[in-house]
Structure 1
Amino acid sequence: MEIERKFLVKKIPENLESYPCLTIEQAYLCTDPVVRIRQEDNSYYMTYKGKGMMAREEYNLPLNENAYLHLKAKADGRTITKKRYRIPLGTLTAELDIFSAPRELTLVEVEFSTEEEARSFCPPDWFGEDVTTDSRYHNSNMI
């Protein structure tokens, strides 16, 4: 189960380069339900995501590079690319995504252990509007 909230970004944190960063490419094989493949630096996997906004099923399966490239060809160009910065927020982690394709956009996500924890989360000042329930900001709808 994935439980997360998603926000627009008012201001990118200072010293962004000091945080761990991944280069991510995601290709979508299906969007209803969501079946995507992802390359994070030199790691590859396939993800299934169920329906839902703040909480939904999520399953990850490992892939090797050859399987990733084979499946990527089946995505017909339905691909997004982004850099993901992992920024500590006390016991939580903000994942700041700076998209470069198919359009420029900056979002931040925080994952939680429970829905109660997610609902009670007080975002820091650099977070903008909460877009958790706005399906336009699901990665699968941005392709």
Structure 2
Amino acid sequence: MAQEIERKFLLKNDDWRNYADSGQAMRQGYLIGAEKASIRVRTAGDRAWLNIKSATLGVERLEYEYEIPLTDAEEMLESLCERPLIEKVRYEVAWHGDVWEIDVFEGDNAGLVVAEIELEDPQQQFTLPPWVGEEVSDDPRYYNVCLVKHPFSQW
């Protein structure tokens, strides 16, 4: 069983950019948002994945991810996924032995910037960087699948 343990935070400022890599543009769309799971297609550069994630609230969820051909993913994004697509640039930031992923959203979700850290255990300790603000792990508005139905530009 694949388990994702992820905590999600808003940012206080842009100081994280001083530590970030060059970033990776991503496009993703949702094929179905069901009561028990979401099915996502994501592209990043010349790679693509199909992801199935349980629709549970909180920091722990089941997650399964499979690499698929880029051309298949692009076709699914254009013809099968709900709109708007999620467009973002993901930056990685190393901080005190952990890797933070900073998502800077574009398109209908422009203006939203979220930091995520994946953990091995829900009780795992980590050092909170000074640029990290309020935790929003339990707020479904910040889930990518919810940003399709209620984009940040409409809040």
Match of 1:60 among 58, 61, 65: 65
- 1:133–1:43: structure 2 CA closer, same or farther, 3 Å change rule? same
- Aligned twin of 2:44: 40
Q: Distance in 1 between matches of 2:142 and 2:131?
A: 18
Structure 1 residue identity aligned to 2:5 = I
- The aligned counterpart of 2:153 is none
Give the conservation status (yes or no) of the 8 Å contact 1:35–1:47: yes
If the length of structure 2 is used for normalisation, what is the TM-score? 0.84
Instruction: Tell me which residue corresponds to 1:111.
Output: 118
* Structure 1 residue ranges, 4+ long, deviating more than 3 angstroms after superposition: 14-18
Question: Given the alignment of the two structures, is residue 96 of structure 1 paired with residue 102 of structure 2, yes or no?
Answer: yes
Gap runs ≥5 in structure 1: none
| Residue type of the alignment partner of 1:86 | E
Pair 1:94–1:100, CA change in 2 (3 A): same
**SS of equivalent residue, structure 2 residue 15:** coil
2:140 corresponds to which of 123, 128, 135: 135
Amino acid at match of 2:97: T
Contact 2:20 2:91 in 1 (8 A): no
Task: Name the Cα RMSD after superposition.
Answer: 1.6
Q: How many residues align?
A: 141
Partner of 2:80: 74
Measure the CA separation in 2 of the matches of 1:107 and 1:58.
20
How many angstroms apart in 2 are the aligned matches of 1:109 and 1:101?
20
Are 2:27 and 1:25 aligned?
yes
The answer for unaligned runs of 5 or more in structure 2 is 149-155
Q: CA deviation at 1:17?
A: 8.0
Is the strand fraction higher in 1 or 2? 1
Distance 2:95 2:137 in 1: 18
